[in-house]
Amino acid sequence: MFGLRKIISAKQTRLADAYTIENEPVSSIDLMERASTAFVNEILQEDLSNKKIAVVCGVGNNGGDGLAVARILQSHNIEAQPFLIQFKDKLSDDCQINFNRLEQVTVISSEKEIPDLSSFDLIIDALLGTGLQREAEGFVAQTINAINASGATVYAIDIPSGLFCDEITNASSVVQSDLVVSFQRPKKAFFFPENNAYIQQWRVVDIGLDEKFIQQQESHQYVLDEKVSLLVKSRKRYSHKGSYGHALMISGAYGMMGAAVLTSEACLRSGAGLVSSYVPKCGYEILQTSLPEAMCLTDTQYEHITSLPELEKYNAIGIGPGLGTNPDTIHVVSELFERINVPVVLDADALNILSTKLELIAEIPKNAILTPHIKEFDRMVGFSVNAQERFQKQQQFSKEHQCIVVLKDAHTSISDAQGNLFFNTSGNPGMATGGSGDVLTGIITGLLAQSYSPIEAALIGVYHHGLAGDVAAWQKGQYSMIASDIINNLRIA
């Protein structure tokens, strides 16, 4: 969908593996060599020459990768000591071949022999991969615990050992990795916030699995990454401000006018031809002074919004940032639902109003974009025990109400009315700062005004918002960046 990559299950990965072996064709041992070489090339971006490295391998193909990685690192004159944790008598065929290709492997065949790993700088975790069948216990769990207790940096091959690929892991013995280098696709598990302790950072390397086959697999989950830029249309040479739509931002209350300024400015920066900002009277001078490029309309009331302006001339509307939930403002949302006939973004207090008047949820305009963070979402649909349940509810909500939900988190997820779920890969913790969400609302509304479809606007907006945040973090650092830095680094292209 939109040229974005599908996220597939462990089972589908095995099918893609077998399909590639048969149809490329390539032998499975050569595919393992390719994967191991790609892993080594990725980690060699860092200078490892003075590091003492342990490669902790299991008996399956993940272990086979680990043994090959140790050999390839040694061929680069890097000290990498392989350990085979023999928790089963028989090694997989390719693991056995790679075992035979190494001159020296320390074989550990019982719990008692597990070495103290604290003298190593770096541990490469190749104990278990996507073949995990059950929670790690006994010998395997003890080895995982030894890796975690070592104090060394840990890089995991494909997935941290002990972590389930497609569902929430409740086990206590899971490798806590600093980096995962995953083959071909990120795993579903990488997008569960619950797995944060096991995955500080992940990257994906291409190992040449058949892409066409992967994209044909039944999956409704996608990776939202730089490929979304393909959806961005170039601006026409002969065009004028009227060509790029007129957006209306409804936002602000006394003491919250910054939200109105940020959301309106972000809307302009996303390329909307014209932006009008509807604010309470107290916001008139603030808005006109800080954002001369926007037009300003005011409510009759001074401190908060109590009514709506005429809506006919706008191509898209964004409502919610800094709006407040004053009793006189609440009815504005239901009135908007009755009168609106253009795409709309509902954010912040517009969502809080929805959660105090749940009967309004049934009236959400078709194709509306809702941008809750987790707490706002839970207030609307009820508490979820974990991310997996919340993602299901998110997909269900989108289908039932024919709308798009942008659930804001470290990996923001975007659900559409067809049941698809897109996981964003841009952004950083520095973006957890006041006003960041207001900026996103402005960006998405601005894209809607330019006639992008709601799902396109949500995908382009979320990815570029994160990207601008990454540039801001690079400039100012995650601690010091603020929401206006995100706007200043926005570059949709």
Ligand X SMILES: NC(=O)C1=CN([C@@H]2O[C@H](COP(=O)(O)OP(=O)(O)OC[C@H]3O[C@@H](n4cnc5c(N)ncnc54)[C@H](OP(=O)(O)O)[C@@H]3O)[C@@H](O)[C@H]2O)[C@@H](O)CC1
Q: Could you say whether residue 125 binds K ion (CB under 5 A)?
A: yes
Residues in region 9-68 near ligand X by CB under 6 A: 13-14, 17, 31-32, 35, 58-65
- Stretch in the footprint of ligand X (CB under 6 A) among 87-95, 191-199, 358-366, 466-474: 87-95
The four Cα atoms 323, 324, 330, 335 give a dihedral, to 10 degrees, of 0
The answer to whether 446 touches 262, Cβ cutoff 8 Å, is: no
C-alpha to C-alpha distance for 389 and 387, rounded to whole angstroms: 5
C-alpha to C-alpha distance for 194 and 169, rounded to whole angstroms: 9
The answer to whether 369 touches 404, Cβ cutoff 8 Å, is: yes
Pairing of strands 421-424, 413-415: antiparallel
Whichever of 61 and 426 has its CB closer to ligand X, that residue is 61
CB of 467 to ligand X, least distance (A): 30
The answer to whether 163 touches 169, Cβ cutoff 8 Å, is: yes
C-alpha to C-alpha distance for 418 and 220, rounded to whole angstroms: 9
| Count of residues that bind ligand X according to CB under 6 A | 32
- Stretch in the footprint of ligand X (CB under 6 A) among 126-134, 234-242, 252-260, 338-346: 126-134
Q: Is 64 annotated as belonging to a binding site?
A: yes
Q: Which of 448, 492, 462, 402 is nearest to 223 (CA)?
A: 462
Q: Is 47 annotated as belonging to a binding site?
A: no
Whichever of 181 and 455 has its CB closer to K ion, that residue is 181
C-alpha to C-alpha distance for 430 and 470, rounded to whole angstroms: 8
Q: Is 131 annotated as belonging to a binding site?
A: yes
Whichever of 69 and 381 has its CB closer to ligand X, that residue is 69
Residues in region 158-217 near K ion by CB under 5 A: 161
DSSP, res 298: E
C-alpha to C-alpha distance for 132 and 153, rounded to whole angstroms: 23
Residues in region 167-206 near ligand X by CB under 6 A: 183
Q: Is 161 annotated as belonging to a binding site?
A: yes
Q: Is 62 annotated as belonging to a binding site?
A: yes
Among 83, 87, 120, 191, binds ligand X (CB under 6 A): 87
Among 11, 76, 88, 235, binds ligand X (CB under 6 A): 88
- Burial (Cβ within 10 Å: 0-12, 13-18, ≥19) of residue 463: buried
Q: Is 246 annotated as belonging to a binding site?
A: no
List residues binding K ion (CB under 5 A): 62, 125, 156-157, 161
Binding residues for K(+): 62, 125, 161
Contacts with ligand X, residue ranges (CB under 6 A): 13-14, 17, 31-32, 35, 58-65, 87-88, 92, 128-136, 140, 157-158, 183, 207, 209
